[in-house]
Amino acid sequence: MRRSTFLATAAALASAAYLTACGSPPRDLDLSLKHPSTQGLFVVTLEPPATGPVLDQIQTWQLHLADRDGAPVSQARILFSGGMPQHGHGFPTRPRVTREIRPGVYALEGVKFSMSGWWDMRFGLQAGERTDTAVFNVVLDDGRHRS
């Protein structure tokens, strides 16, 4: 195979692989904003700002944390991570839970979506001796949230 043909073929395969990896989110992606934590210790609700998630704006979201019976969980320690699984990068900002607004409701500040597509939002949850995680998926199409 001639070098120029080989390079063109390699470039086409790399482009196809990139488009496959960065293409549409999985069809069975759970887009719910309320569900049990991974081990079922908590019920977690993620609430976007009133305007909904948008591109290129720093936003504050709210995380509602309750026990299995629905009672608010106060004084929890909550860590945040996330990003774009199909692109392999995190958020362009450093979102973090900054305070408890009212019992069981926490402010997640510094959220910024830099591009449309599938984002995951991951939380480490600790309340007393109970430790669990929760993951939410958000898809932005042309800067607007899709559920």
Q: What is residue 144's predicted lDDT score, i.e. its pLDDT?
A: 55
CA atoms of 147 and 135, how far apart (whole Å)? 15
Domain count, the chain: 1
Is residue 15 in a domain? yes
Is residue 147 in a domain? no
Q: What is residue 7's predicted lDDT score, i.e. its pLDDT?
A: 39
Q: What is residue 24's predicted lDDT score, i.e. its pLDDT?
A: 83
The pair of structure tokens assigned to 51 is 């305007």
pLDDT digit string, tens, across residues 54-108: 999 999 999 999 999 999 999 999 999 999 999 999 999 999 999 999 999 999 9
Q: Burial, 92: exposed, middle or buried (Cβ in 10 Å; 0-12, 13-18, 19+)?
A: middle
**Which range has the worst mean pLDDT, 20-34, 80-94, 107-121?**
20-34
Residue 43's CATH number = 2.60.40.10
pTM of this structure: 0.81
Contact of 34 with 44, CB cutoff 8 Å = yes
Q: Are strands 42-47 and 59-67 parallel, antiparallel or unpaired?
A: antiparallel
CA geometry: angle 58, 63, 65, nearest 5 deg: 170
Range of the domain at 134: 2-141
Read off the amino acid at residue 66: A
